[in-house]
Amino acid sequence: MPQEFIKIVEVGPRDGLQNEATPVTTDTKVELIRRLAAAGFQHIEATAFVSPQWVPQMADASAVMAQLERKNTIQYSALVPNLKGYEAALAAKVDEVVIFGAASEAFSQKNINCSIAESLERFRPVAQAAQRDGLRLRGSVSCAFVCPYSGEVSTSALVQIAQGLQDLGCAEIDICDTIGAATANQVRVAYEALAKVIPVEKMSGHFHDTYGQALANILAALDSGIRIFHASVAGLGGCPYAKGATGN
C-alpha cells in the first residue's frame, strides 16, 4: 500500500496577518516567510494583492514577493480579488493565485460586495488569464458551514459554489470554516456531499479554532478522505468581516 502524505498549506503570512491592527513591516513579513520555509513548509500563502483601502496590512504585497528567496521546492501563493490583482500577482511571479467566494449570500455581500453568482462571473477573467499563463489556480470557499450574519449554511449552497469554482478550473478547492463554528458532523456531511461532484483529492480543509473544535473537525475531514489542510503559525488570524473569529 502506498504511503499517504498530508499536504500543509501555511497561511499565516496572509490569513494570519491580514487581521492584525498594528502594521507589520515588510522586512518582518519576509523574515517570517523565510523562517517558515526554513522550517520545512513547502506551500506558503505569502500575501494578497487586494485594495490597501480594504486590507491595509497587505499593501506591500509586491515588495514582499520581491524579497522572497525562490526555491523549486517551495510554492508561494497569493490571494487575488480581480484581474488587476491577478496581473500584479503575475508580475510578482507568484506560483499560485487564489480566488475566493462564499457559500453564504450575506457574507458574500459583506466581504466582496456582490452575490455568489456575481462573484463567480467576476473571477471568470482571472481564471481565463491563469489558464492562458499556465498559472495554478486555487479556489477558496468562505463560510462553508456557518455564516456570522445568516447562521448555518446549507450543504447545497456549499456544493454549488464549490462546483462553480471547479468549473472555473481551480486545481484545488478550500472548504473554509471561517468563523470556527462548524461541528465534526457538519464537516462529515459536507464532504460526503461535495465528494459526489468534486474529487476528494482536490479539496482541502481550512478550520479556524474559535470554539476549540478545529482538531475535531480536521479529524472528521481526514476520515472523509481529505489530505490537504491549512495551518497558521502560532494560531494567528481571524477574519476582518467576522469579529471574534480566531486563527487556524
Contact 11, 58 (CB under 8 A): no
pLDDT of res. 1: 41
In a domain, residue 244? The reply is no
* Nearest to 211, CA basis, from 239, 237, 236, 179: 179
CB distance 191 to 224 below 8 Å: yes
Please report the pLDDT score of residue 111 as a whole number.
82
| Any domain includes 248 | no
Q: Judge whether 136 lies within some domain.
A: yes
Measured distance CA(16)–CA(144) in Å, rounded: 19
In a domain, 34, yes or no: yes
Give the model confidence (pLDDT) of 15-46 as tens digits. 999 988 899 999 999 999 999 999 999 999 99
For the chain, the DSSP string reads -PPP--EEEE-IIIIITTT-SS---HHHHHHHHHHHHHTT-SEEEEEE---TTT-GGGTTHHHHHHHSPP-TT-EEEEE-SSHHHHHHHHHTT-SEEEEEEES-HHHHHHHHSS-HHHHHHHHHHHHHHHHHHT-EEEEEEESSSEETTTEEPPHHHHHHHHHHHHHTT-SEEEEEETTS---HHHHHHHHHHHTTTS-GGGEEEEE--TTS-HHHHHHHHHHTT--EEEE-GGG----TTSTT----
Which amino acid is located at 87 in the chain? E
Domain assignment of residue 88, yes or no: yes
DSSP string, 139-168: EEEESSSEETTTEEPPHHHHHHHHHHHHHT
Position 247 in a domain = no
Domain CATH number, residue 39: 3.20.20.70
In tens digits, the chain (248 residues) has pLDDT values of 455 799 999 999 999 999 888 999 999 999 999 999 999 999 999 999 999 998 999 999 999 999 999 999 999 999 999 999 999 999 999 999 999 999 999 999 988 889 999 999 999 999 999 999 999 999 999 999 999 999 999 999 999 999 999 999 999 999 999 999 999 999 999 999 999 999 999 999 999 999 999 999 999 999 999 999 999 999 998 766 566 666 67
Maximum Cα–Cα distance for the chain, whole Å? 51
Q: How many C-beta neighbours within 10 Å does residue 20 have? A: 13
pLDDT at position 242, please? Answer: 62
Range of the domain at 18: 7-235
Domain membership flag for residue 50:
yes
Count how many domains the chain has: 1
pLDDT tens digit sequence for 131-166: 999 999 999 999 999 999 999 999 999 999 999 999
Residues annotated as part of the active site = 239
Please report, as a single letter, which amino acid is at residue 97: V
Q: Could you tell me if 168 and 161 are in contact, meaning their C-beta atoms sit under 8 angstroms apart?
A: no
Instruction: Please give the pLDDT value at position 240.
Output: 61
Neighbours of 172 (CB within 10 A): 22
Report the half-sphere exposure of 233 (CA within 13 A, side-chain side): 20
Beta-ladder partners of 99: 139
- Indicate whether 181 belongs to any domain: yes
